[in-house]
């Protein structure tokens, strides 16, 4: 029987990417056990979703801590105590402290709605449109202390349609995000995607280019 990867999820919003991960698990596409869903917002939809799914939840208020580092260290202490082997940021809207992240190098992922290294940070759809880009997409990357700057391991792309606005582009991208993140996590659960000496690996070899999401899942570029 394959190993079931123990995953903790951090989310600040409605939890649509969490829902996609849970759906992939339920379809048998992701061998995972979700051990904790944590948020910096007590009213986050992701916490409600996790509770309904029987997953332990945690809400921590950043204002209850003297600074960002203190909050992050407390949060990551809870994550470690959960027994998580992998942390997935699924719409977690905070920059994380490097000291808190250090023990999790190669074991923490984020999904970001742009084709990194383009458009780190916020308002990615608007920025892609304003730049006149012909394509847009989403990226999954290993998290480092640099905002949206860790090594990119998988991407999904879509063409930008003439005349579309920011909202429409975001709506079209979201279903690709919901395929991209579970597919990436599944490869980690299978032991195919990994991290060695600060470098992402795929099937035991350094990953030179991000994997690409196609009709049949993630494939080398």
- Domain of 108: which CATH number? 3.40.50.170
Q: Is 99 part of a structural domain of the chain?
A: yes
Strand pairing of 86-89 and 108-112?
parallel
The per-residue pLDDT for 3 is 73
Q: What is the pLDDT of residues 32-70, one digit of tens each?
A: 999 999 999 999 999 999 999 999 999 999 999 999 999
Q: Is 60 part of a structural domain of the chain?
A: yes
Q: Is 199 part of a structural domain of the chain?
A: yes
- Token pair, residue 182, equals 């579970």
The per-residue pLDDT for 90 is 94
Catalytic residue numbers, as ranges: 112
Which ranges of the chain have pLDDT less than 70? 1-2
Query: CB within 8 A of 198, min separation 6: which ones?
Result: 105, 106
Q: Is 12 part of a structural domain of the chain?
A: yes
Q: Is 128 part of a structural domain of the chain?
A: no
CA-based R_g, the chain, Å: 17
> Residue 92, Cβ neighbours under 10 Å: how many?
25
Q: Is 164 part of a structural domain of the chain?
A: no
CA-wise closest residue to 108 among 78, 151, 51: 151
For residue 75, what are the domain limits? 5-123+137-156+177-219
| pTM (whole model) above 0.85 | yes
Q: Is 170 part of a structural domain of the chain?
A: no
3-state SS, residue 217: strand
- How many structural domains does the chain have? 1
Q: Is 167 part of a structural domain of the chain?
A: no
The per-residue pLDDT for 221 is 86
């Amino acid at each position: 029987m394959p190993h079931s990867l123990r995953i903790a999820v951090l989310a600040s919003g409605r939890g649509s990417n969490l829902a996609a991960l849970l759906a992939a698990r339920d379809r048998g596409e992701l061998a995972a056990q979700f051990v904790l869903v944590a948020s910096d917002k007590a009213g986050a939809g992701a916490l409600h979703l996790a509770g309904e799914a029987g997953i332990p939840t945690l809400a921590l208020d950043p204002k209850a801590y003297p600074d960002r580092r203190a909050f992050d260290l407390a949060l990551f202490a809870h994550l470690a105590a959960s027994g998580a082997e992998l942390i997935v940021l699924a719409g977690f809207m905070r920059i994380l402290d490097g000291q808190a992240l250090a023990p999790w190098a190669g074991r923490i992922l984020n999904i970001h709605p742009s084709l990194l290294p383009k458009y780190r940070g916020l308002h990615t759809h608007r920025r892609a449109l304003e730049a006149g880009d012909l394509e847009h997409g989403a990226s999954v990357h290993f998290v480092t202390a640099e905002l949206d700057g860790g090594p990119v391991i998988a991407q999904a792309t879509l063409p930008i349609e003439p005349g579309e606005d920011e909202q429409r582009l975001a709506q079209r991208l979201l279903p690709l995000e919901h395929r991209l993140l579970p597919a990436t996590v599944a490869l980690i659960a299978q032991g195919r995607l990994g991290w060695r000496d600060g470098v992402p690996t795929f099937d035991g070899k350094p990953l030179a280019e991000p994997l690409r999401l196609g009709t049949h899942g993630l494939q080398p570029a």
